[in-house]
Amino acid sequence: MSLVRTIVGGLSGLVFGLGLTVSGMLDPARVRAFLDVAGPWDPSLAFTLCGAVLVASVGVWLSGRMSRPVFDDRFHLPETRTVDDRLVTGAALFGVGWGMAGLCPGPAIASLVLGIPATLFFFVAMVLGMALHDRLSIRSVWRTRSVDG
């Protein structure tokens, strides 16, 4: 079962990465043009978001009709329900970085193999930022156990 889950994970990552590549999400300039609603706005990545949510919704709908996932005993879904300040401030900080660079975690990882120095800097800093957060939150109360994504 574990081997099958590993194969599913690999295929999912591959299809995810191909989707990012084909859609234009890998290009920081395209992402920033999508966010530049006051300037020469490029709405094409809105189609990416809508297409992704639409198809993922089918998966969610199917999963809702299943008692358990095909290759595991139960679904592992986030349990946190409340909208708290961590969610809002975290998303706000994330958006500032996303707007400045035009990169988010998926494209930053997928473009690693191209070896572009600026995106490598971004990736290393991103990992440090993540690890810093996790280090600090272990020290206080471990409230981040439930992970949305």
* Closest-CA residue to 26 (of 9, 48, 58): 48
The residue type of 53 is: V
Residues sharing a CB contact under 8 Å with residue 71, sequence separation 6 or more, in sequence order: 1, 4, 5, 8
Q: Considering only residues 4-43, where is the footprint of other proteins by CB under 8 A? A: 5-30, 32, 35-39, 42-43
- Is residue 115 a contact point for other proteins (CB under 8 A)? no
- Is residue 114 a contact point for other proteins (CB under 8 A)? yes
Q: Judged by CB, which is closer to other proteins: 54, or 141?
A: 54
- Is residue 66 a contact point for other proteins (CB under 8 A)? yes
The residue type of 29 is: A
Taking the complex as a whole, the smallest distance from the CB of residue 95 to other proteins amounts, in Å, to: 3
Taking the complex as a whole, the smallest distance from the CB of residue 140 to other proteins amounts, in Å, to: 12
Q: Can you give the C-alpha Rg of the chain in angstroms?
A: 18
